[in-house]
Structure 1
């Protein structure tokens, strides 16, 4: 899976997105994080 920018930043963004949107789905959380930028 290709990640844009810092992998650490992306991971933190996904984690915060998962908590914010309440989804255990990493893919959905990552997409939500991208949309929130």
Structure 2
């Protein structure tokens, strides 16, 4: 549950970056973070 919560926090931060910058790199970083959050 803690890992999931951390993933949501990181995901929210990355979504904010995507909305602010609109950079495809942010989308790739988000995908990497999601994969890294999996146990």
TM-score, structure 2 as length reference: 0.45
Larger helix share, 1 or 2: 2
Give the structure, 1 or 2, with the largest relative contact order (CA under 8 Å, sep 6 or more). 2
